[in-house]
Amino acid sequence: MNKKADAIIIGAGVIGSSVAFELAKRGYKTLNIDKLPTSGYGSTSNSCAIVRAHYSTWDGVAMAYEGFFYWDDWANYLGVEDERGMIKYMKTGSIIFKLQGEDHSKKSLKYFEEIGVEHEIWDLDKLKERMPIYSHDQFDGTTRPDEDEHFFDKTGKEIEGAIFTPGSGYVSDPQLSSHNLQVAAEANGGEFLFNNEIKEIRQENGKVLGVILKTGEQIDAPIVVNVAGPHSFVINRMAGVEEEMNIKTKALRHEVHHVPSPEGFDFEKDGFHTSDGDNGIYFRPETGNTILIGSEDPLCDPKEWIEDPDNYNNEVTESQWRAQVYRCARRIPDLKIPSRTSGVVDLYDVSDDWIPIYDKSALGGFYMAIGSSGNQFKNAPIVSEMMAVCPSCSKEGHDHDANPLKVKTVYTGLELNMGFYSRNREINPNSSFSVNG
């Protein structure tokens, strides 16, 4: 007889493991299937795991703000102890620079005020007091050092200041967060199947029946949830649901880099996660008194879309290293630039407008939590709360397309409209079209 489950979750990253936990809590017999050897082993393991609220839409800010409280209350939320240990939420706070003119910070600030996100406005004196290593120069546009002979030239302009959110920070170990969630799901009856790959999404009369593994094993389930990260488009095509979707996903290669903190300054202890829209980068403290530097996807940086998520260049490139590290050096003039590159390379699962898809599909029982676009790690617990509601509502005959579900959040009491994340939405013009969401 075929193995049976109430719900198969394809993927065991931070969102896939979290979906399992929330469904298992509600009495579903869940089975996560992942081609890798353990939970969080794929793109989750290389996530920067930043928890911040500066998104470009009301819905993005509201969801991320709710996430602050899950990470701050992690052990109580999961209700288990993991023998590998529990992650730590490094609540450093987050800085987003305020630039002269219209910029991302002002859009986010409007939503902070509407939603009630705790924040402080820092003038340049306060910024200097808290972060004496930061330059206040405004360069008026992100460029690449290999294409701009005036890259380090000053314009004579200064940024206006910064917005500080004290509830922000980052998660100490992104892979461990997935394992914590796996243990919590298993404590509620969930199962995980690793080193196994999906060959086929079984279906009949417009409804999902389960999956077939590459081993030939068939597993029956009336619910299948695609949480396959950068492989999400592969699974959607396998299920035959991509064509009817207005918003689709694809994989994007991305690099983050590591450099030592300036001499005499303990960035690991005294630094903050920082969003520098003027230089098109973000950076945060990292273990060993180092600085992790990522890209905010400025227009001047080429985008490398990946057709086969199993085959891509996973080595740091000299040109992107120079672009991101030199941009950080404009903001931190005392930064010592190493002679050797150091960093990690992985894939983002990017939607057409960089806003995720949390939705059902045209195939009955087939759901999607995809298009995380490098910015949804922080939202895994809230996403899973939302996704766990979908199967029950569909079973009761609720037409989610015509009347999108609204989910009240646990900690902030805000109401999130799942229609915002619909596969059938129009491209959202308010998106940053970047990792900022």
Mean of the per-residue pLDDT values for the chain?
96
CA distance 377 to 328: 24
Residue 318 lies in domain: 89-172+252-346
Question: How many of the other CB atoms lie within 10 Å of CB of 319?
Answer: 14
The verdict on 299 and 371 lying in the same domain is no
pLDDT value, residue 396: 66
Last residue in a domain, options 314, 346, 378: 346
Last residue in a domain, options 346, 380, 409: 346
CA distance 404 to 393: 10
In a domain, 20, yes or no: yes
pLDDT at 82 over 80: yes
Task: Give me the percent of the chain exceeding a pLDDT of 90.
Answer: 95
The verdict on 235 and 256 lying in the same domain is no
The verdict on 236 and 364 lying in the same domain is yes
The three state secondary structure string of 312-342 is CCCCCCHHHHHHHHHHHHHHCCCCCCCCCCC
Token match 């609720």: residue?
A: 398
In a domain, 375, yes or no: yes
CATH number at residue 29: 3.50.50.60
In a domain, 79, yes or no: no
Residues 381-433: tens digit of each pLDDT: 999 999 998 887 777 677 888 899 999 999 999 999 999 999 999 999 999 99
The verdict on 239 and 361 lying in the same domain is yes
Question: How many of the other CB atoms lie within 10 Å of CB of 113?
Answer: 10
Rounded to an integer, the average pLDDT of 158-164 is 98
The verdict on 158 and 257 lying in the same domain is yes
The verdict on 151 and 114 lying in the same domain is yes
The verdict on 279 and 158 lying in the same domain is yes
In a domain, 58, yes or no: no
The verdict on 211 and 358 lying in the same domain is yes
DSSP 268-329: HHH--EEEETTTTEEEEEETTTEEEEEE---TTS---EES-TTSS--SPPHHHHHHHHHHHH
Last residue in a domain, options 305, 327, 346: 346
The verdict on 267 and 336 lying in the same domain is yes
The verdict on 110 and 183 lying in the same domain is no
Residues 38-68: tens digit of each pLDDT: 999 999 999 999 999 999 999 999 999 999 9
CB burial class (10 A; 0-12, 13-18, 19+) of residue 63? buried
pLDDT at 76 over 90: yes
The verdict on 271 and 340 lying in the same domain is yes
In angstroms and rounded to an integer, the radius of gyration of the C-alpha atoms of the chain is 22
In a domain, 265, yes or no: yes
CA distance 135 to 272: 15
Rounded to an integer, the average pLDDT of 85-106 is 96
In a domain, 288, yes or no: yes
Tokens of 245: 């979707």
pLDDT value, residue 399: 83
In a domain, 74, yes or no: no
Residue (of 203, 111, 126) closest to 430 by Cα position? 111
Task: Classify strands 120-122 and 161-165 as parallel, antiparallel or unpaired.
Answer: antiparallel
Count: domains in the chain = 2
CATH number at residue 331: 3.30.9.10
In a domain, 76, yes or no: no
The verdict on 242 and 103 lying in the same domain is no
The separation between CA 170 and the C-alpha centre of its own chain, rounded to angstroms, equals 12
